[in-house]
Every structure is written in C-alpha cells, then in structure tokens.
Amino acid sequence: MGDYLVYYIVTHTDIDGIGSASLYIYLQGEKPEKIYFTEPYLMERTIKSLIDIRTDKIVFMDLGMNNRFYPLIRRYLEEIINKGIEVEWYDHHVWEKEWISGIKAIGVKLYIDRSTCATGVIAKYAPRRRKNVKQDFIDELVNGVCAGDLWKFDHWRGPWYLRLVRRREKNSWRLHVIDILSQGILWKDEFTENIVAKLEKELRAYNDVIHSLFIKKVNGLKIVYLPYHDHVDTSFIASLALGRTNADIAVIVSRDGKLSFRSTGYNVRELAAKLGGGGHIKASGAKIKIPFKVKMMSLWKIEYLLHYVHTLIEKIIK
C-alpha cells in the first residue's frame, strides 16, 4: 500500500457526499486526518480555513462551483497547492468551461462526470491504494446512492440511503455512517432503525407541507413555494408539490435563506446561478439573505417568507 498518506476530505452534507467520502476512504484503505462537511455556498469560507493546515493531500467531492465564489476559491486553492499540497476534486454538477480550465491550470486534479453521482465519480476516477478491493461492494454502493441522489430510484436502496443522511443531521451521525460504509459494509440494522424512527415524523410532516403551498404564475410558468421541513427530504417535498399542483417549478424555502429548486422540465440551474448558487438542470440550490423583518413576520405566518422569495424569483424570470 506504500507509505501512510495524510489527507483531508471536504464533502457535501447529503448521502452522495457521505457515499463519496466512504468510498474514497475504502479505496485508500486509510482513514483521513479529518473530514469537513460543507455546502456549496460555504465553499469559499471552508477552503480559506484550510490554507494553513499541514497535510499531503486535500480531496473535495460532491461540491459544485458558482460564479460568485470562483475567483476566491481559485486563489485559495493556488495558495494551498503552492505549499506542496496535492488537491483532488470529484464532482458531477454542471461546471462552466472557464471554471474547469481555471481550476486545472493551477494544478488541481479535477474530475467532472455528469453521467453519474459523485460516489460514481469516485468509483471511476479515484486512485486505489487498498489491496483486495471488492468490486461488488463498489457497484452496490454507487447504484444505491445514485438511485437516490439522482432521483432515479432504480435500486431498492435509493430511497433508504436518501433518508439515511439528511440536511439537518448531526455531523457525528454522518461520521458514523462513513465509518461503517468505508469498511465495505452496505447496510446495518441500526440504519433501518434510524429510518423507521424518521418515517413516522415524515408522514405527519406531509400534511403540514400540503397546507403551506403558495402558488404563483410568472410568464406562463406555474411555481409552487413550500417551507423547508426538518422531517422530510427536500426532493420528496418537491415531488409531492409538483405532482399535487402540476406546477413547472417547486421552490423549497428555509428560514436561514437556503433555497432548493426542483423541476421536471425547466432549467432551474439558471435560477440558482442568478442567485449565486448552482447544481443540476432539474435540481439546484442557492443561499440568499433574508431581511430581519421578513424573518420575524414569517414566524407568525410563513407566507411572508414565501412571498419574499417569490419577488426575487419573479424578477429573475421576467
């Protein structure tokens, strides 16, 4: 296996980020010094915090890029590389040609593949230092995670993995799941117990969500807005809303300013990009600042928050 490799992992907070980190560790046969969990809109801050660390390598996975932070991220990465630290980046989101060429030009080993999820990108391109790699485990993990993350559900573990690690999970749970998966274990009874406990809350939450629908039309597009709910995955909420209202776009709004866009026929990445975010054509996200007054009013009536977000979306579409 060679000399011990000191490395850090920076990954997304959802199941694809967890699957990516788990598979990378499995393929290395060595645990990282530390794992950072972050969101795309926090990338600039996260990378800046890594400039002074001492390590052989930093590996980024399941994290896209956006125009707002690209110049700073490129500059910080260049500082890191100039200190002799190797940088790898694995992703499956949409990247502009300028970002790809710019990041590669400073020496980052960048692997972008939109044909699969980020866990699949790791499986295809990450180095393998481990002896006796089990290809069956790799294939099953990739198929299960991609089935949920890409919303294909062509593998029975897809909806289970999707529920296993949600946005508001504690990082201690994320690390625990990574520890299990990185050992080459696809599932444990405690995973089932964790999801069953969540399902009861999820079913009750759907009723709350349906009663909070806020529908508007802009330039012929029907848009449904819903508040984020702790007990339901964003994609499940969006799917329910799109199906119930026959809307073109679903916007899931969190009080902290995080927006999730979903659609079956409209390029929502364009909306997210205008707000400094990014992602996929049919599933994207962004982070905005919510005025204090709107936050306070939304505590009384959530429609104030949804209406405020609509005014922003309306301006972009028009």
Domain boundary among 187, 222, 243: 187
**pTM for this structure?**
0.85
**107 & 166 share domain:** yes
Distances (CA, A) of 196 to 31, 67, 69, 186, 238: 30, 40, 39, 17, 21
Mean pLDDT over residues 95-123, rounded?
97
* The predicted structure's pLDDT at residue 52: 94
Residue 285 and residue 12: Cα distance in Å, rounded? 13
Cβ-based neighbours of 103, under 8 Å, separated by 6 or more: 65, 74, 77, 89, 110
**114 & 161 share domain:** yes
CATH number of the domain bearing residue 313: 3.10.310.30
**226 & 133 share domain:** no
Give the mean pLDDT of the chain: 92
203: pLDDT strictly greater than 90: no
CA Rg, the chain, in Å? 20
How much of the chain, in percent, has pLDDT values that exceed 90?
72
Instruction: Yes or no: say if 20 and 118 are a contact pair by the CB < 8 Å rule.
Output: yes
Over residues 128-137, the pLDDT tens digits come to 999 999 999 9
**150 & 231 share domain:** no
Domain boundary among 187, 222, 244: 187
Over residues 33-51, the pLDDT tens digits come to 999 999 988 999 999 999 9
Please count the structural domains in the chain: 2
Residue 21 and residue 41: Cα distance in Å, rounded? 19
Residue 67's pLDDT band (cuts 50, 70, 90): confident
**43 & 176 share domain:** yes
78: pLDDT strictly greater than 70: yes
193 falls within a domain: no
**153 & 216 share domain:** no
Residue 261 and residue 80: Cα distance in Å, rounded? 33
**156 & 25 share domain:** yes
Q: Who wins on pLDDT, 121 or 298?
A: 121
Residue 3's pLDDT band (cuts 50, 70, 90): low
192 falls within a domain: no
155 falls within a domain: yes
**18 & 167 share domain:** yes
The number of helix segments (H) and strand segments (E) in the chain equals 13, 11
Q: Which domain holds residue 90?
A: 7-187
**136 & 107 share domain:** yes
- Residue 86 backbone class (left: φ over 0; alpha: ψ -120 to 50; beta: rest): beta
CATH number of the domain bearing residue 50: 3.40.50
Residue 126 and residue 197: Cα distance in Å, rounded? 35
**59 & 111 share domain:** yes
1 falls within a domain: no
**181 & 300 share domain:** no
4: pLDDT strictly greater than 80: no
CA-closest candidate to residue 92, choices 134, 50, 146: 146
* The predicted structure's pLDDT at residue 262: 92
Residue 262 and residue 111: Cα distance in Å, rounded? 25
**105 & 244 share domain:** no
Residue 306's pLDDT band (cuts 50, 70, 90): very high
